[in-house]
Structure 1
Amino acid sequence: MKTTTILIGLVAPQALAYPGMGRTLAQIQSHRDNTIVKRSTELLGDLKTTKDQDLTPAGSSIKSVLGGGSAIADGSTYKPLGDLASDTCKKSTLCVWYHIVQDLKVAFTDSTGCTDLARGAIRQGFHDAAAWDKDSSHGGADGSLLLSDEMSRVDNLGLEDIAAQTKGWYSQYKAYGISMADLIQTAAMTATVSCPGGPRIKHFVGRKDDSRAAPTGKLPFPYQDADALVRLFAAKTFTSNDLVALVGAHTASKQKFVDTSRKNAPQDSTPNVWDTKFYSETIAGDNKTILIFHSDKSISSYSGTQAQFKSFAGSNGKSLWSPAYAQAYFRMSFLGVNNLNNLTDISQVIPLSQ
């Protein structure tokens, strides 16, 4: 990518030097754009060894998205079979989760857009799932963030409010057979779409809980350089372009501990809305209006991620970012999950995009 950028810079002033130069430049740009949109297609969990003829409908759907298909859920919605306490509803995974999501939605939405609890739920989903890489024997989206002592780690400072709320929801609904792992990821998906403009991401449940604390040293820090972050995420099966898509979740972020003198400073000027201002404002670099993490600034200017970052900051950025984020977070929600072929699709209960 860096070589292509340099080449464009060298030949652009001579665009009319010979017939066909414009076509050559277009081909170079097309190659560059294809590089930009490249996503990970690496399989996860049991799907790595399950033969196609043995795939369930859920397993087939998950495999398709992991392989590069769209992770945006369609507009179909679920109509509840009855009250949560009814025998009919108790027998339906969709019905149980429909009622749970209604509670989540209320907590995640107000008149301005998405709430602080929604922001926390998005980050909480990351922190449970991303404490895993391909060398890990356990960890990932397994609920351990709230089932072990992981909350005492410095990585998880600022998650106290959403952690307490999520534990309360779990106590309320665990009798219906849900897992903490599923609740954490369902909350993240619901919170994302509760921010106006957030994508409605395909979602499955059936993850197994694990009370063992996840391995340490697997989560990113806001002080890291881009090259270190690219390596960190590659070990989790993400490409550098996936990384750029994922950090865009900072559009709905308010920091508390990176700079304690500016507690609750947002990372873009519209933290209640899911948009691409994070990208353009990080590039602009006005660290007085918003708080820019060193890691984000580094990613915005690093040779391996700069072009992707700029593409999301551009005039067509939202249409590029939404599907890229959806696919990358879909993958994130399955890190460390080894029973993907036995999950249940509950995408229909996730609220429609605002």
Structure 2
Amino acid sequence: MKTTAILFGLVAPQVLAYPGMGRALDQIKSRRDYTLQSRSTELLGDLKTTKDKDLTSSGSTIKSVLEGGSAIADGSTYKPSGDLASDTCKKSTLCVWYNIVQDLKATFTDSNGCTDLARGAIRQGFHDAAAWDKNSAYGGADGSLLLSDEMSRVDNLGLEDIAAQTKDWYNQYKGYGISMADLIQTAAMTATVSCPGGPRIKSFVGRKDDSRAAPTGLLPFQYQNADYLVDLFAAKTFTSNDLVALVGAHTSSKQKFVDTSRTNAPQDTTPNIWDTKFYSETIAGDNKTILIFHSDKSISSYSETQAQFKAFAGSNGKSLWSPAFAQAFFRMSFLGVNNLNNLTEITQVLPLSQ
């Protein structure tokens, strides 16, 4: 089974350009006046214009988290009264997704912790959603990664196994009215909490699919410097601290294409567990024990990100990182989604944190 890096470790270091880079460079040059705060509170999609009196329960919850509230779910769970074949279950969004998540969880865990397909699912969630910024007319968490030719892009090397598995799941369950966009993001949320120590993040469904290939040049690469990445993510509504939190997903990452002589080298020494060793071990810099991406090392020492990186590496780093990652990943899952007020919460069907 192939293993790959989750976020930045996408291609070999010699690849120095990609389609759309010129557009991205031109755009970020105008963003240096972006105010960096500890956490983004910028609203997304239809919530930017929906009045409070018109908010649904889901819209209210999503808005609260986007504005800085906690994205970590409580321990509430859901158990269906019937199986998926029953008419009652078919008509219940929670029941349908409960059955789907049970399949996902079984694939994402083994006796060692989270599996290679779990790593792939987390990265897949990023790659479908993050091909978007505030200047994009379309793109984001819309399923286009697997509904268009995006998988042929160099950005997405290494996602082949999880893409094939996700398509199998989609073909199995699409008759129940699910979208590919929701399946990709729910798989990413399920994979995160399936890793021992991973947060249980509030989850919603109802995203609309789009088969148009997402804009190019909007995903990060492992050779990029921190200042570029800060601007790239600012255009997606993330602060520099959000970026530091998101890159911590490399705690469960293994790379395949960044250094082909070290295939399956992890980015920290405990890739089956969701912990903060990635931060401390990146700072320590032992590039023989683990494979440290240039982008990660740059973020660890850059003036706007160094302090947050060190905080996550500290003795109480996990208690700081978990809520920060949950909030940033929650935001990521809604990039480009314009019907947030009409989504349905399915958090109750997610596995409990281990």
TM-score normalized by structure 2? 0.90
After TM superposition, the structure 1 = structure 2 runs for residues 82-161 of structure 1, keeping only pairs within 5 Å, are 82-161=82-161
CA–CA distance in structure 2, aligned partners of residues 216 and 162 of structure 1: 21
Q: Following the alignment from structure 1 to structure 2, what is the Cα–Cα distance between the partners of residues 36 and 248?
A: 19
Partners of 1:37 and 1:92 in 2: how far apart?
40
Amino acid corresponding to residue 196 of structure 2 in structure 1? P
The aligned counterpart of 2:67 is 67
Partner of 1:39: 39
After the TM superposition, list the runs of 4 or more consecutive aligned residues in structure 1 that deviate by more than 3 angstroms. none
What is the aligned partner in structure 1 of residue 282 from structure 2?
282
Match of residue 184 from structure 1: 184
Structure 2: which amino acid aligns with 1:91? K
Matches of 2:286 and 2:46, distance apart in 1: 45
Matched with 1:237 is 237
Q: Per-residue deviation at 1:334?
A: 0.1
Q: Which runs of 5+ in 1 are unaligned?
A: 1-34
Structure having greater relative contact order (Cα 8 Å, sep ≥ 6): 2
Q: Contact between 2:37 and 2:239, CA under 8 Å: does it hold in 1?
A: no
Size of the aligned set, in residue pairs, is: 320
Cα distance in 1 for residues equivalent to 2:78 and 2:337: 26
Q: Does 1:258 align with 2:253?
A: no
Q: For residues 147 and 334 of structure 1, what CA distance do their matches in structure 2 show?
A: 18
Contact 1:130 1:141 in 2 (8 A): yes
TM-superposed CA distance for 1:342, in Å, is 0.1
Shift of 1:36: 10
Q: Which one has a larger percent helix, Structure 1 or Structure 2?
A: 1
Write out per-residue CA displacement over residues 304-335 of structure 1, whole angstroms, 9 at most, x where no aligned residue: 00000000000000000000000000000000
Q: 2-side partners of 1:85 and 1:300: how far apart? A: 50
Q: Is the 8 A contact 2:36 2:240 kept in 1?
A: no
Taking the TM superposition and a 5 Å limit, the aligned residue runs for 1:283-298 are 283-298=283-298
Q: Which residue of 2 aligns with 1:79?
A: 79
1:36, 1:307 within 8 Å by CA — same for their partners in 2?
no
Aligned partner of 2:207 in structure 1 is 207
Alpha-carbon contact 1:196-1:272 (below 8 Å) kept: yes
In 2: Cα distance, 1:87 partner to 1:280 partner: 51
State which structure, 1 or 2, has the greater radius of gyration over its C-alpha atoms: 1
2:160 partner letter: E
The aligned residue for residue 228 of structure 1 is 228
Q: CA deviation at 1:37?
A: 7.9
Q: 2 CA distance for matches of 1:138 and 1:290?
A: 37
CA distance in 2, matches of 1:304, 1:64: 26
Mapped partners of 1:86, 1:222: distance in 2: 47
Cα offset, 1:92, TM superposition: 0.5
| Deviation at residue 85 of structure 1 after TM alignment | 1.1
Matched residues in 2 for 1:80 and 1:99: separation? Answer: 9
C-alpha distance in structure 2 between counterparts of 1:314 and 1:271, whole Å: 19
Give the structure 2 partner of residue 306 of structure 1: 306
Distance 2:290 2:233 in 1: 26
Q: Which amino acid aligns with 2:111?
A: S
C-alpha separation between the residues in 2 aligned to 1:95 and 1:323? 28
Alpha-carbon separation, structure 1, partners of 2:293 and 2:42? 29
Q: In 1, distance between residues paired with 2:150 and 2:36?
A: 35
Amino acid of the structure 1 residue aligned with 2:249: A
CA contact (8 A) 1:36 1:308 kept: no
2:353 alignment partner, SS class = coil
Per the alignment, residue 320 of structure 1 pairs with: 320
Give the distance between the partners of 1:261 and 1:142, measured in 2 at CA. 35
1:81 offset after TM fit, Å?
Answer: 2.3
Q: Give 1:281 shift.
A: 0.2
Alpha carbons 2:36, 2:239 under 8 Å: kept: no
Which residue of structure 1 aligns with residue 26 of structure 2?
none
- Matched residue, 2:197: 197
CA displacement at 1:339 relative to structure 2: 0.1
Corresponding position of 1:13: none
1:334 is paired with a residue of what secondary structure? coil
* Percent of aligned pairs sharing the same letter: 89
Q: TM-score, normalised by structure 1?
A: 0.90
Distance 1:273 1:206, change over 3 A: same
CA deviation digits over 1:193-224, x for unaligned, max 9? 01000000000000000000000000000000
Classify the secondary structure of the residue corresponding to 1:133. coil
The CA deviation string for residues 57-111 of structure 1, in whole angstroms up to 9 with x for no partner, is 0000000000000000010000112101110001100000000000000000000
- In the alignment, the residues of structure 1 paired with residue 263 and residue 198 of structure 2 have an alpha-carbon distance, to the nearest angstrom, of 25
